Chains A and B, each alone.
Chain A
Amino acid sequence: MAEVLVYVDHVDGAVRKPTLELLTLARRVGEPVAVHLGAGADTAAPVLAEHGAVKVLAADAPEFADYLVVPKVDALQAAYDAVSPAAVLVPSSAEGKEIAARLAVRIGSGIITDAVDLEAGDEGPVATQSVFAAAFTTKSRVSKGTPVITVKPNSAAPEAAPAAGTVEQLAVSFGEKATGTKVVSRTPRESTGRPELTEAAIVVSGGRGVNGAENFPLIEGLADSLGAAVGASRAAVDAGWYPHTNQVGQTGKSVSPQLYIAAGISGAIQHRAGMQTSKTIVAVNKDAEAPIFDLVDYGVVGDLFEVVPQLTEEVKARKG
């Protein structure tokens, strides 16, 4: 069977969940070969093997951390040259998309970004995308070169499928452009202890209706009672009530959890773009006319300062 390259998104060898989803999708079109760049390949390899990687191509060099994007493109291209894969799959993070895009032009291939599903087709992998703020679903394929496809988080449930996962060193020589953009400093984001927004099964988001940073603990309290991630609308982020990393929507994160709870959010098109594919949607809003109610499975017209605390208490009580 043809091999499929899967780019590994990890933090020092801790593999992030979207990569496991990618391995699962990759098995539909070929044999997954993982590409691990940076430290921690030995930590990552057993996890990648468990999820179907027949091989792990590993490379580590200071360039990956010291310069932006291009060294990783050079390395992925080296893997591409070594394997001649049937497709290249990359997680749809901001960086993942940039790496994939540059690789695509280099190898003369078309690129599809933000796929939400992938299946084998007669003329190569068929990618499902959700477009125009999720108002349409499209099926597309790459018609020239080796398909390069980036896939959004939560597009598949990771399945175990043990394979060899043998680690092989990948030889990479960096081009002269690799050191063009220097990363002068890097401040890792502090963990909140809550699930990662894009990976969470449940997301609780607050909007302008939360009316102040001092009230966001109300949203956090509900999130914690459900083991959920916390999101925010752009209005709440722009007001400085919650960090931009938690913004849900077109210019924030796009989420697709099992359950999305919107509190004090009107449901503007740009917000919907980032959450409309959630499986179950629930809203609390005091305006019965708010567009968010067009999307909901269950909506409460009411004051979030009454409804949310009561909900949190009731969830806690039910969980015992």
Chain B
Amino acid sequence: MSLRIVVCVKYVPDATGDRHFADDLTVDRDDVDGLLSELDEYAVEQALQIAEDADDAEITVLTVGPEDAKDALRKALSMGADKAVHVEDDDLHGTDVIGTSLVLGKAIEHVGYDLVVCGMASTDGTMGVLPAILAERLGVPQVTLLSEVSVEDGKVTGRRDGDTATEQLEAALPALVSVTDQSGEARYPSFKGIMAAKKKPVESLDLSDLGIEEDEVGLEGAWTKVDEATERPPRTAGTIVKDEGEGGKQLAAFLAERKFV
């Protein structure tokens, strides 16, 4: 039987752009170019490798996000995923991680799955908790923050490099994994891949398709509230010296002045 893999990918504002908040204190997605979160490219890559090692597999990439988020799906399709699902609804604006996980969970169940693959964190929110929440909601084993992953005989195994130890993990499918940026460089889409992606199916769903009420998501439905966002004042310009042979000593004097030595 075919191995059904769903990869969750997020469309995010470019981190090298000038990211801001909108007036309602949500992330401003209009003024900065968006792209497929670089950390989710690793998720797509690992899904592709798992699929290549399986007899028969199908990869669906899934995103919850605005119209432009289709770009992220196209990129993942051009890397080699088979089909895409886009959950898009005006009522989603301002949804927090609890709401996003609700929507992703319903969409994943709608698609059908044996394995869900996530990135380690999104590059805008950087919470890194969605995969754990999604596993909780789906009621499947959480095998997260893996730097190595493989699927064999209905089991997923992987290596998790934690703060104090490295762990070897194992769980039965269906399961949810998240992979880190140590899991291996993501491939670039080939010209053939880019052309093929144009013909791959992208299914669009809205909240009613998933049986979700509008008050469960969005800014109003969020379980957290941002009251204030202030731009960090630029650091006051420091002293910069050119090393003319005494740079190390000058630096030591600075450190002594600041009582570090």
Contacts and interface: CB of A to CB of B under 8 A. Distances in A.
Interface string B210-248: 000000000000111111111110110011111101111
Range for the number of chain A residues in contact with chain B:
35 or more
A307 B126 contact: no
A280 B16 contact: no
Contact of A300 (B175, B241, B256): B241
Interface in B117-138: 120-121, 123-124, 126-130, 132-133, 135-137
Given A138-B226, A310-B248, A297 B139 contact: no
A245 B98 CA distance: 29
Given A182-B170, A189-B165, A311-B251, A139 B260 contact: no
B194 interface: no
A29 interface: no
Given A68-B143, A69-B132, A302 B243 contact: yes
Contacts of A173: none
Interface residues of B, number: 84
A307 B254 CA distance: 14
B169 interface: yes
B15 to A, nearest CB: 5
B136 A299 contact: no
Nearest to B182: A244
A297 B139 CA distance: 50
B163 interface: yes
B215 to A, nearest CB: 12
A137 B229 contact: yes
A133 B252 CA distance: 29
Interface stretch (A36-44, A95-103, A157-165): A95-103
A36 to B, nearest CB: 16
Nearest to B96: A110
B19 to A, nearest CB: 5
A258 interface: yes
A136 B232 contact: yes
A135 B20 CA distance: 9
A80 to B, nearest CB: 15
Contacts of B241: 298-301
Contact of B167 (A136, A139, A186): A186
B181 to A, nearest CB: 5
Contact of A184 (B133, B144, B161, B168): B168
B213 to A, nearest CB: 15
Contacts of A185: 167-168
B133 A105 contact: yes
A217 interface: no
B222 A110 contact: yes
Contacts of B182: 244
B2 interface: no
9 contacts: A101-B127, A101-B130, A110-B222, A136-B229, A137-B232, A139-B229, A295-B238, A297-B239, A309-B248
Closest 9 CB pairs of A and B: A310-B248, A302-B243, A110-B223, A180-B141, A314-B252, A101-B129, A311-B248, A144-B223, A98-B132
Interface of B: 15-16, 19-21, 25, 39, 96-98, 101, 120-121, 123-124, 126-130, 132-133, 135-137, 139-145, 147, 157, 160-172, 175, 180-182, 222-232, 234-235, 238-243, 245-252, 254-256, 258, 260-261
